[in-house]
Amino acid sequence: MGCWRAGENDGSYLKTAGIFERMSDFKKLLVWEKAHALAVQVDRLASAIRRSHHASLRTQMVRASASIPTNIVEGSRQASRRDFGRFLRYALNSASEMEYHLLLARAIGATPEADTSKLIADVVEIRKMLHGLLRRVSSESSKCSAPPSDTPV
């Protein structure tokens, strides 16, 4: 069974309880599903920003939002939990960047207040889920890397 056995499901892991064999099927991760939906919503919001002097903000918003699920996908294909954790940290960084871009867009009046506030709440939720998954992957990794206590070193 290995070290990828799921404990309590905090929503960031698999949509169904079971064994983590390797996270090769990223579509089973609820956090990926939510991050993907966020990327789609941000793309729609950014396409509604019409002023030419906001072109770089539009581009950065789309890139940062797409980077979150992309890093989850890339990490899920890695050979080790440690590498998966590294990509989850990249996704966390992109989520923080995305939150700032949304805050900036709202502050300068480039996006509607209500739409932007909803997306900010979504980013915060995704970041919490990523932290939970990273904590789980890190703890599983440390459990798996340590030899059993009755094994001579």
Mean pLDDT score of the chain: 83
Residue range 141-145: mean pLDDT, rounded = 58
Residue among 102, 92, 101 at smallest CA distance from 69:
92
SS3 letters for 9-56? CCCCCECCCCECCCCCCHHHEHHHHHHHHHHHHHHHHHHCCCCHHHHH
The helix/strand/coil state of 5 is strand
Q: What is the pLDDT of residue 25?
A: 82
pLDDT at 134 over 70: yes
Q: Which of residues 80 and 10 earns the better pLDDT score?
A: 80
Distance of CA 73 to the CA centre of its chain: 9
Whole-structure pTM value: 0.79
Residue range 106-131: mean pLDDT, rounded = 96
Residue 36 φ/ψ, nearest 5 degrees: -65, -45
Q: Which residues contact 37 (CB under 8 A, 6 or more apart)?
A: 122
For the stretch 58-93, pLDDT in tens is 999 999 999 999 999 999 999 889 999 999 999 999
Q: Which amino acid is at 114?
A: A
pLDDT at 107 over 90: yes
For the stretch 13-47, pLDDT in tens is 444 433 345 456 888 999 999 999 999 999 999 99
Contact of 49 with 19, CB cutoff 8 Å:
no
The residue count for the chain: 153
Residue range 91-97: mean pLDDT, rounded = 98
The percentage of the chain sitting over the pLDDT mark of 90, rounded to a whole number, equals 66
Q: What is the pLDDT of residue 11?
A: 46
